[in-house]
Amino acid sequence: MITADLCIIPMGIEESGVGKYVAKAAQIIEKSGLNYQITAMGTQIESDNLKELYEVCGKVQEAVFKMGVPRVYTVLKIDDRRDKENRTLEEKVKSVKNRM
């Protein structure tokens, strides 16, 4: 399972809030069928396929441009672990909590 953290930062906008851009991103990810979690600082996404993950992230970035944003700064962190199965977002969090 590949997990990723996606953060899209619209630049050159007048308002300081970005909720409408996050909502648009979530709609695109939801439509893709990939499992995801919105957090206060980004959106985590799960995928079995790196190409599919990149495609969805690209669609999110393009959608923000289409909302009239002149510049988009994107941070994408990917964890592609292949030595263990079932490394979902939920399982990764559970693993840490079990150690607390």
- Is the separation of the CB atoms in 28 and 63 below 8 Å? yes
* CA atoms in the 13 A half-sphere facing the CB of 35: 11
**Tens-digit pLDDT profile for residues 14-31:** 999 999 999 999 999 999
**Tens-digit pLDDT profile for residues 34-85:** 999 999 999 999 999 999 999 999 999 999 999 999 999 999 999 998 898 8
Compute CA distances 18 → 12, 21, 40, 92, whole Å.
Answer: 12, 5, 11, 28
| Model confidence at 86: pLDDT above 80 | no
Q: What is the DSSP letter of 14?
A: S
Q: What is the DSSP letter of 68?
A: T
**Fold held by 2-98:** Alpha-Beta Plaits (3.30.70)
Indicate the SS3 state at residue 15.
coil
- Count each helix (H run) and each strand (E run) in the chain, helices first: 3, 4
Break the chain into its structural domains and give their ranges: 2-98
